[in-house]
Amino acid sequence: MIELYHYVPVANGGKVLMALHEKEIPFRSHWIDLHAFEQHSPEYLEINPEGQVPALVHEGHVITQTSVINEYLEDAFPHSPPLRPSAPLEAARMRQWNKYIDDVVMEAVSVHGWHTGAGQIARGYSDEEFDILMARVPLEKQRIKWRQARAGFAQEKLDDCTAKVAEAVARVEQALEQGPWLLGEFFSFADINFYAYCGGGLARMFPQIGSSATCPRVLEWVERMEARPGVAKALATSAP
Amino acid sequence: MIELYHYVPVANGGKVLMALHEKEIPFRSHWIDLHAFEQHSPEYLEINPEGQVPALVHEGHVITQTSVINEYLEDAFPHSPPLRPSAPLEAARMRQWNKYIDDVVMEAVSVHGWHTGAGQIARGYSDEEFDILMARVPLEKQRIKWRQARAGFAQEKLDDCTAKVAEAVARVEQALEQGPWLLGEFFSFADINFYAYCGGGLARMFPQIGSSATCPRVLEWVERMEARPGVAKALATSAP
């Protein structure tokens, strides 16, 4: 039995939820409310000592890190619909996209997300309450991010991240000249990855970048993504 | 035919050189002298527009990013000695190590490497010469690193990176309680990865961390690594 500990179906959680539904793998969902800081509760830290979601548990084994989890799903469920190409060169192309999306795009979008979303949450607590919550965060880099989000990121940092998003969208726009998906005809984890971190929220978060004037193919691709039954099912995931 | 564009057999270049030799895959070596900034030459930028080594070329297809390259070698040469476990859970454990090593350990060690090695190279040029060289560097984050290396990194940054190296060594020391390699009995890309970025230069770069008092198992593992014929062959790679 697969168990998934996750929050809303965007970003990290969405990436694995979409993969599970697209691969038609049954799983039990455990909702971890990031707004209530449940990811830092003693119970959850027993599952993932780093206090991050999602975490996948399969037959008692805990697997973390979204791209590692998705490759695992591909390896462990070889008879489910494939989301990683079997040709070595195509698999390498997928992993190059994933590395770029995980390292650059995720970070750039997440700074904007932390600036608004997490910043708002963090400012809702008094200094004292916030310090108590921070003392429970296991990873130093996450504590730094929470404190930055509460204070607000510098405009220069936000502009730099916006430029990175624009470049990523331009690269995807160009890739989509070759076919309906990032790897041409093959729908893969790379599509899920870009959608989860950037594509899904593009028009809302970055309206100046995600317009039909600048990236018509990306916007059509967003529609194709959301029309997929597995993706749609994942996006319909809500609090229990 | 495999062609590899690389520099000395440590860090990024070492990671792929060790993989090729351990997997006994024949290849043609192309030496790219980073001291002469050959990675930013117009000829090399045609192969890798990001101006980074190594790059692997297989039947005309260029593959970059060391962990992507190594997974590709595993996929494309399935009859060579395996360096990725076939069991899905073990493959996930390997990828978790690789992600941690690529994201955290590589960065921490490389700041020290840039501080001394690249800093020395960069300070050997006049301001004017250096500006001309920088104008040829395609990636902004690399230009920032070169400028920081030339100026020297802040002590706080260096201390933070040293602490990250110490934590990584402690994690590996603990993992080696279970067997001779990071994944127990199975020698994998995770061993190559940790050796290339950290283990190989540990005693020299971080003598206070890499001592027999703090990490006896890691030091024995370094000896085991260097006794492997493929690793030894890779380490013997020198300028043409």
Per-residue pLDDT of A2-23, as tens digits, reads 999 999 999 999 999 999 999 9
Q: How far A227 CA sits from the closest chain B CA (Å)?
A: 30
The count of domains in chain A is: 2
Residue B108 sits in the same domain as residue B205: yes
Would the CB atoms of A71 and B95 count as touching at under 8 Å? Answer: yes
- Could you tell me if B35 and B127 lie in one domain? no
Could you tell me if B61 lies within 8 Å of chain A, comparing CB atoms?
yes
Q: Please, which residues have CB within 8 angstroms of residue B11's CB and are 6 or more apart in sequence?
A: B106, B109, B110, B113, B196, B197
- Chosen domain end from A51, A76, A101: A76
Residue reference for tokens 């070698």: B73
Confidence grade of residue B117 (pLDDT, cut at 50, 70, 90): confident
A119 against B184, higher pLDDT: B184
Query: Residue B71: what pLDDT?
Result: 98
Taking an 8 Å cut-off on Cβ atoms, the answer to whether B89 and A95 are in contact is no
* pLDDT of B112: 93
Interface contact B96, partner A, CB < 8 A = yes
In a domain, A83, yes or no: no
Distance between CA atoms of residues B155 and A225, nearest Å: 47
Q: Do B75 and A91 touch (CB under 8 A)?
A: yes
CATH number of the domain where residue B30 is located: 3.40.30.10
Q: Are residues B147 and B125 in the same domain?
A: yes
Position B83 in a domain? no
Specify the pLDDT at position B36. 86
Mean pLDDT of chain A: 95
- pLDDT above 90 for B120: no
- What does the pLDDT look like over B152-178, one tens digit per residue? 899 999 999 999 999 999 999 999 999
**Same domain assignment for residues A176 and A223:** yes
Report yes or no on B66 lying in a domain. yes
Tens digit of each residue's pLDDT (9 = 90 or more) over A175-196? 999 999 999 999 999 999 999 9
The answer for residues whose C-beta is within 8 angstroms of residue B216's C-beta and 6 or more apart is B173
| Nearest chain A CA: its distance from B227 CA (Å) | 31
CA torsion through residues B120, B124, B127, B129, sign: negative
**Residue A203: predicted pLDDT:** 94
Is the Cβ of B92 closer than 8 Å to some Cβ of chain A? Answer: yes
Q: In this complex, do B75 and A88 lie within 8 Å of one another by their Cβ atoms?
A: yes
In this prediction the pTM is 0.94
Q: Is the peptide bond before B54 cis (omega within 30 degrees of 0)?
A: yes
Q: Is residue A197 part of a domain?
A: yes
Of residues A68, A76, A91, nearest to B99 (C-beta): A68
Do residue A103 and residue A16 come from a single domain?
A: no
Indicate whether A236 belongs to any domain: no
Residues B92 and B166 in one domain: yes
Radius of gyration of chain B (CA): 18
- Rounded to a whole number of angstroms, the distance from the CA of B57 to the nearest CA of chain A is 11
Report yes or no on A233 lying in a domain. Answer: no
Boundary (domain end) residue, out of A50, A76, A102: A76
Residues B99 and B198 reside in one and the same domain = yes
Confidence bin at A145 (pLDDT 50/70/90)? confident
A110 inside domain: yes
Cβ-based contacts of B103 with chain A (< 8 Å): 103
| Confidence grade of residue B141 (pLDDT, cut at 50, 70, 90) | confident
Q: Could you tell me the sign of the dihedral formed by the alpha carbons of A202, A207, A208, A211, in that order?
A: positive
Locate the chain B residue with the closest alpha carbon to A77: B88
**CA-to-CA dists, residue A67 to A80, A119, A193, A194, A202, angstroms:** 17, 26, 8, 12, 21
The predicted structure's pLDDT at residue B56: 98
* pLDDT at B35 exceeding the cut of 90: no
Query: Angle, to 10 degrees, between the axis of helix A106-113 and the axis of helix A11-22?
Result: 120
How far CA A21 is from CA of A67, B24, B214, in Å, comes to 16, 40, 46
User: Cβ contact (<8 Å) for B71 and A96?
Assistant: no
Best of A68, A73, A93, A189 to substitute, by most chain B Cβ atoms within 10 angstroms, is: A68
Residue B119 predicted with pLDDT over 90: no
Q: Say yes or no: B122 and B213 in one domain.
A: yes
Q: For the domain that residue B143 is a member of, what is the CATH number?
A: 1.20.1050.10
Question: Does a structural domain hold residue A81?
Answer: no
Cβ of residue A89 closer than 8 Å to a chain B Cβ? yes
Quick one: average pLDDT of A131-138?
A: 89
Residues B192 and B214 in one domain: yes
Residue B119 sits in the same domain as residue B221: yes
pLDDT in tens, B187-231: 999 999 999 999 999 999 999 999 999 999 999 999 999 999 999
Positive or negative, the Cα torsion across B63, B66, B70, B75? negative
Work out the minimum CA distance from A70 to partner chain B, whole angstroms: 10
Tell whether omega for the bond before A88 is within 30 degrees of 0, i.e. cis.
no
Q: With b meaning 16 or more CB within 10 Å and e meaning fewer, what string describes A39-49?
A: bbeeebeebbe
pLDDT score for A87? 98
Question: What are the pLDDT digits (tens) for B219-234?
Answer: 999 999 999 999 999 9
> What is the pLDDT, as a whole number, of residue B138?
87
Residues A39 and A112 placed together within one structural domain of the fold:
no
Q: Are residues A66 and A168 in the same domain?
A: no
Percent of chain A topping pLDDT 70: 100
Residue A120 pLDDT > 90: no
Domain boundary among B76, B104, B121: B76
Chain A residues with CB-CB distance to B72 below 8 A: 88-89, 91-92, 95
Range of the domain at A215: 88-228
